[in-house]
Homo-oligomer: A and B are copies of this chain.
Amino acid sequence: MVKRTSHKGANCPVARPLDAIGDGWSLLIIRDAFDGLRRFGQFQKSLGVAKNILSARLNNLVEQGILRTVPASDGSPHQEYVLTDKGCGLFPVLVALRQWSEEYLFEPSETRARLVDRERGQPVAWLEIRSADGRALSPEDTMIVMQHGSNNARRL
């Protein structure tokens, strides 16, 4: 086993999630959960991953509060995995990744899975980074600042 570095104490919000979703399988499990997969066997069939790896990833996602287990919807003794609100919050991450990938990793001739608006069947709009007052921002228009926490909030 490779000892993994933990980023859970990082001040950087890009680093901190990596313990939860920083490996490819976890992201694909989350994608499948958005697509409505719920059972261990469904995830395994979709991903073709070894059972012990899938089991560890599912347990980690439950531990991180991204998935939760519920009794099987058909009354069978299986348990099912569904996204929590925190897990559903990852939707923009998957959309952003999907759009980048469609732009740069696919040839026009290739078949691809597309995310469309259920009502109209059209691909979802391109994500744009905007300022609080609505201006489009490129990476150069932004910068990182350290923001100290609120001491008041600590007592809540």
Contact = CB atoms under 8 A, between A and B. Distances in A.
A22 interface: yes
Interface in A94-127: 94-125, 127
B11 A31 contact: no
A34 interface: yes
Given A127-B96, A145-B121, A112 B18 contact: no
A51 interface: no
B124 A130 contact: yes
Given A90-B100, A107-B153, A141 B112 contact: no
B92 A99 contact: yes
Interface residues of A, number: 89
A76 interface: no
Contact of A122 (B131, B146, B154): B131
A122 to B, nearest CB: 4
Given A106-B13, A112-B11, A144-B35, A89 B94 contact: no
A12 to B, nearest CB: 5
A105 B89 CA distance: 12
Given A88-B139, A91-B139, A117-B137, 13 more contacts: A5-B24, A13-B101, A15-B28, A15-B31, A23-B23, A92-B128, A93-B96, A93-B100, A112-B149, A116-B144, A122-B131, A124-B142, A125-B134
